[in-house]
Amino acid sequence: MKRLAVWLLPMSLFAGQARYARVGDLEGTVEVQLQAADPWQPALRNMPVGELAWLRTSGSSRVEVELDEGSVLRLGADSLAELSDYTRLSTGQRITLISLDRGLAYFTGAAEGKDALILSVPGAQVTVRQGARLRMEAREQSSQIAAGDGAVRFSSPTAEFDLTPGQIVRVNPAHPSRFFLYREIPPIDTDRWSDERDKVLASTTSAAHVPGLRYGVADLDAQGVWIESSGFGAVWKPKMPEAWAPFRNGKWLWYDGLGYTWISDDPWGWLPYHYGRWMQPEGTGWIWVPGKSTVFKPGEVYWLKSAKLVGWGPLAPGEEWKRPDVPRLFLNANTTYAGYAPEARVIDPTGFSTRPREPLATAVFALALASPPFPAARLDSSRPVLRAGSTRVVPVLDDVTYEGPPEPAQARAPAGPPRSGPSHDAAYMSPPPAGQPVVIVNTPQPEPPAEIYYPVPVYTGIIVVNPPAHKGKDKKPPQAVSSGGRPNAVPPPAAGSIAPNIPRGGEAPHRPGDPSGPKPPDPDKPLK
C-alpha cells in the first residue's frame, strides 16, 4: 500500500487550471461534440471547447478555433478534428495535441518554453518547436503535411526528420514503410482565407491592454474603444446602444467543472465575459475592466431565482458579493430574465418577456444555480477510434520524480499515466505497428549545403531523403548500401522525391526523367 501511494501522489499534483479554446469565425454548418455521450450541437461563436471536444464541418463550411496560448486551428470543408490533449500541468506547462481525422486544416502557432504542441494526421505527426504555419490534409488513401513557415519535427513509423519551410510530405497510413517529400507546396483556394485571418489576428492593437491574454483580442479593436478611467486605468467601452446591458445577448450552457457558462451573441463577446468585470460609471455607460487574473471564468454574475424564473446581472470589479446583501450593480433594468427548470442544461433569455416589476418579492438572490442531473450515458459512453489514433502526450517535468520501474533503453513509451524524466520533449505514445520496422532518417542542414543521400539499413528496400539542392560544382556521386553491405553508385532520384524501395530482386532504382516516378500531388485530385 505504501508503494501505491508513491505512484499516486505525484499524479495528483499534475493537474492544473482547465484550458478552454474559443470558437471564432465560422461559416456554414459547423457542429461540436463536447463529450462522448453528448449529442452533436451547432457550434456557436464564442463557445468554449475543452479537452476531447470534437468539431466537424459540412461540405461547404469552415471554422476558426483560437487556443488560449495564441495558436489558431482552422478547419476547411468536410473536416473532423479533436482536441485530443489540451491540458495545463500544475507547473504551468501546457500540453496540446490536435488530431485531424479527415479533411483540411490549417494551424498557426508556436510552443513557448517547455510547452508541448503536437499535430497528428493518420499515419504521421509533427511537433512544433518554433512559430509555424502548417497545412494538413487527411484523405482516404493518404495524409499530407505542408510547412509554410517555421520549424517542425515530422515523425512517422518509418522516418523522423525536420520539415523545413516550403516542403510537403505525404504518407499512406496503410503502407507506413514509404513516404514522399516534395520541395514545392501546390496552392489551393482556401490558403488565402487562412493567410488573411492570420494577418487580422496579428495586427491587433488591444493586446497591450490585456497582457497574458492571447485569444479573442482582435475582436476588441473594431467593436469598441479603449479609454482611461480615473478609478480603473485603461478600460474598454463597446459600441452598443444606450439601453444595452452586459450578459443580455446570449445564453448559458452547462459545462461540467465550470457550471453555467455564458456564450455571448456579441461578436466581441469572449474576453469581456470571461476575464474581468463590468462597471457603469455615471455619464460613461458600460465599460469592461480587465482583470488581473488570467483564469478562465464562466461569467461572474449575481443570480435571482424562483420556482420557474431566473435572473442575472454583472458583478462590479473587486466586489466580493455574498447573499443576502444586494449586489452593487443590481437594478431591475440591468437584470436579464429567463424561464428556468432545475434540470435544464441551457438557459436562454431569447423571447422571454415576463419581467417582474418587483423581482425581490418573487425571487431570492443566489450565488449559483443548482447543477442539472448527471447524464448516466457518460458512464459507459465511447467514440469510434480516430484514424489519427488515440494518443496522449507525455509531460516532462524538471525536478519532479517518483518511484517506478526503469524504462527500457531506446523503447517507445507505452500508453499509460504520465511520467517524468530528464528530457524536455514530449513523446507521442502510440507504439509502432506490429511487424513494421522503425527506421529513423535524419536530415541535418550541412555547411556548406550539399546534396546528400542517406542510406537506410535494408529491411524492405532503400529510403532516400533529398535536402535542398546544392549549386556547387564539386559534387560527389551519391552512394547507397546494397544488401551485401558494399556501396554502389546510384543515380540521384528526381528532385523533390523519395526514391522508391528497391526490392531484393535487384530492380533498378528510379532514374531522373522517368515519368513513372513520384510527382507533386495535384490539389484538385484525391491522392492515391
Does one domain contain both 171 and 303? Answer: no
Burial class (CB in 10 A: 0-12, 13-18, 19+), 400: middle
Does one domain contain both 455 and 511? Answer: yes
Does one domain contain both 358 and 481? Answer: no
Residue 219 lies in a domain: no
Does one domain contain both 189 and 260? Answer: no
The residue among 202, 143, 29, 126 whose CA lies nearest residue 117 is: 126
Residue 41 lies in a domain: yes
Residue 215 lies in a domain: no
Q: Is 3 helix (H, G, I), strand (E, B) or coil?
A: helix
Does one domain contain both 136 and 27? Answer: yes
Q: For 310, list phi and psi in degrees, rounded to 5.
A: -140, 145
Residue 213 lies in a domain: no
Does one domain contain both 273 and 360? Answer: yes
Q: Contact, 22 vs 215, CB < 8 A?
A: yes
Residue with cell 482547465: 18
Sign of CA dihedral 299, 305, 309, 312: negative
Does one domain contain both 242 and 151? Answer: no
Residue 408 lies in a domain: no
Q: Which of 338, 366, 394 is the last residue of a domain?
A: 366
Tell me if the pTM is above 0.85.
no
Residue 445 lies in a domain: no
Burial class (CB in 10 A: 0-12, 13-18, 19+), 154: buried
Does one domain contain both 129 and 257? Answer: no
- In Å, how far are 3, 121, 393 from 98, measured between CA atoms? 35, 9, 11
Does one domain contain both 234 and 174? Answer: no
Query: Residue 496's domain spans which residues?
Result: 450-528
Does one domain contain both 309 and 350? Answer: yes
The CATH code of the domain that includes 33 is 2.60.120.1440
Q: CA–CA separation, 231 vs 443, rounded Å?
A: 58
From first to last of its 528 residues, what are the pLDDT tens digits of the chain? Answer: 434 333 333 444 456 789 999 999 999 999 999 998 899 999 999 999 999 999 999 989 999 999 999 999 999 999 999 999 999 999 999 999 999 999 999 999 999 889 999 999 999 999 998 899 999 999 999 999 999 998 899 999 888 999 999 999 999 998 888 889 999 999 999 999 999 999 999 999 999 999 999 999 999 998 999 999 888 999 999 999 988 999 999 999 999 989 999 999 999 999 999 999 999 998 889 999 999 899 999 999 999 999 899 999 999 999 999 988 999 999 999 999 999 998 899 999 998 888 888 999 989 999 999 999 888 888 888 888 888 875 555 555 454 433 344 444 333 333 333 333 333 233 222 333 333 333 333 333 333 333 333 333 333 333 334 444 444 444 444 343 333 444 444 344 443 333 333 333 334 444 444 444 445 555 455 444
The residue among 146, 236, 131 whose CA lies nearest residue 182 is: 146
All cell numbers assigned to 162: 525536420
Does one domain contain both 352 and 286? Answer: yes
Q: CA–CA separation, 505 vs 512, rounded Å?
A: 21
Q: Contact, 170 vs 142, CB < 8 A?
A: yes
Q: Which of 139, 168, 201 is the last residue of a domain?
A: 201
- In Å, how far are 24, 127, 239 from 218, measured between CA atoms? 11, 27, 15
Number of domains in the chain: 3
Does one domain contain both 65 and 193? Answer: yes
Residue 207 lies in a domain: no
Residue 277 lies in a domain: yes
